[in-house]
Chain A
Amino acid sequence: MFWQIILGIWMVGVIIASFLYMPATQGLGETGRILIYHVPSAWIAVLAYLMAMVNSLGYLRQGDLRWDRQAQVNAELGTIFCILATVTGAIWSRGAWGQYWNWDPRQTSITVLLMIYAAYFVLRSAIPDADRRARLAAVYAILAFLTVPFLVFIVPRVYVSLHPDLINLENRSFDMDRKMLVVFLSSLLGFTGLYAWMYKVQMRLENLLYAIDMKRGE
């Protein structure tokens, strides 16, 4: 319970700092402040989806249902943070580009990512048997994720991206004000802590549900 309360205070600090301490720079104006929430959400979404993939592979290798529960929880958390990143992105896009949605390559790929996991949950809900559900869902998750890299190549050729990048590859610099960087990294840390907390709570809940199912089965 101790570190959770620290996390709560930490994020309060980050939120206040992101509005009062941090300057509105980067040519993005005041709307740029949303990146303190948008980028960490996207980062956690990617992290959670990646973990879901690793867990799916683990299930196929070892056949332990614990892997499947982890994959499910990670997929759910990834989807929550992915939706957060999409919504914050759309809000910012309205401020900076004038419309909520314009099929920027980032918006396209995040939509496909959401659709993959929506289909994943539909597939899970269609199969009553736990082992079969775990196996088919794992195969689908891996299969679907393999096609994502293709989007990275095909989509930017159809629509040019206007998405600002934090890391400037041309002159190998990190385009961020020092004060902004401090707040940004603190936010990243806080979001990761939040993800870890949510993951742990939900995992404990899933384990309890599983234990109850096992007792019923006896």
Chain B
Amino acid sequence: MIKPLRWLKQGLAIWRKDLRIEFRTRYTYSALVMFAITTLVTVSFSIGGFVTDTDITAALLWIILFFSAMAGLARTFVAEEETGTATALKMAAQPEPVLLGKYLFNVTILLSLTVLVVPLFIMMLNLSIALPLAFVAAVVLGSLGLAGASTILAAIVAKAGAKSSLMTVLAFPVLLPLLFAAISATRAALGGGLAADVTADLLMLFFYNGVALAASLLLFEYVWNE
């Protein structure tokens, strides 16, 4: 039975629960931020202050965001399995609200990371942005997609025994189309390439988000229930 409103209500409850746990320890968020800052500093230090090549800066931004996301987002489900709360959660809610709640939590974490990291990135590399609105849209839609596709993969990794490097291996091929589109849109927004291409790339990102979320909702049941 599909009951979107009830799913959303229960999903929000799980989202609040995860946020509360996160505020208690701040482990996921600090790990993500530290990872992002470390890579950002390394990149900025090694290539210097002024980079005019938008091909490189756009790719670097998304490499930083991708690997930070991989470092942190796998925690969502692994933590549930480790503390043994997965069974309780399974009894308390349907699979779909669980996925929605975790998805919202991942989105929150990743967006608050980008709010911190992207301005730093712009400052440290002295970027000038040709199309600010398109840039913001590309970053937001790209982050949403990263979080969306990684949520169900995090569940798979947790069930597979939380092997540490598995997350990156599984996520990379799935996220590659998203990364290509996001890099392409970011490059155009930074002033390289054709401005007319931005709309098509943003549309791609939008549809990727939709497909990732819909497929996750359909398939999550098979991952979650034994």
Contacts and interface: CB of A to CB of B under 8 A. Distances in A.
A and B from one assembly? yes
A37 to B, nearest CB: 26
Interface in A97-154: 112, 115-116, 118-119, 122-123, 126-127, 132, 135-136, 138-140, 142-144, 146-148, 150-151, 153-154
A118 B178 CA distance: 19
Given A126-B160, A135-B222, A143 B174 contact: yes
A155 interface: yes
Given A138-B222, A142-B219, A115 B173 contact: yes
A143 B181 CA distance: 18
B173 A157 contact: no
A118 B204 CA distance: 25
B160 A139 contact: no
Nearest to A150: B177
Contacts of B175: 147
Contacts of A148: 177
Given A126-B163, A140-B156, A150-B204, A116 B184 contact: no
Contact of B174 (A126, A132, A147): A147
Given A157-B184, A158-B180, A136 B223 contact: yes
Interface stretch (B92-100, B110-118, B164-172): B164-172
Contact of B161 (A122, A127, A139, A140): A127
A36 to B, nearest CB: 30
Interface residue tally of chain B, by bracket?
35 or more
A112 B174 CA distance: 9
A144 B170 CA distance: 9
Contacts of B7: none
B222 A126 contact: no
B223 A135 contact: yes
A154 B160 CA distance: 32
B79 interface: no
B16 interface: no
A60 interface: yes
B interface, over-half SS = helix
B172 A119 contact: yes
B136 interface: no
B200 A115 contact: no
A116 B223 contact: no
Given A112-B173, A138-B222, A142-B215, A154 B181 contact: yes
A119 B166 CA distance: 8
Interface string B59-94: 000000000000000000000000000000000000
A154 B177 contact: yes
Contact of A150 (B153, B170, B181): B181
B159 to A, nearest CB: 6
A139 B201 CA distance: 27
A146 B161 contact: no
B10 to A, nearest CB: 22
Contacts of A115: 172-173, 176
Counting chain A CB atoms within 10 Å of each CB, the highest count among B174, B201, B219 belongs to: B174
B138 to A, nearest CB: 13
Contacts of A60: 219, 222
B215 A126 contact: no
Nearest to B152: A143
Contacts of B208: 147, 150
A157 B166 contact: no
6 nearest A-B pairs in the assembled complex, by CB-CB distance: A150-B177, A116-B173, A115-B173, A154-B180, A139-B219, A126-B160
Given A135-B223, A158-B184, 8 more contacts: A115-B176, A119-B170, A127-B159, A136-B160, A143-B153, A147-B212, A150-B211, A158-B180
18 contacts: A116-B173, A119-B170, A123-B169, A127-B160, A132-B226, A136-B159, A139-B152, A140-B156, A140-B170, A144-B174, A147-B175, A147-B211, A147-B212, A150-B178, A150-B207, A150-B211, A151-B176, A158-B184
Interface of A: 60, 112, 115-116, 118-119, 122-123, 126-127, 132, 135-136, 138-140, 142-144, 146-148, 150-151, 153-155, 157-158
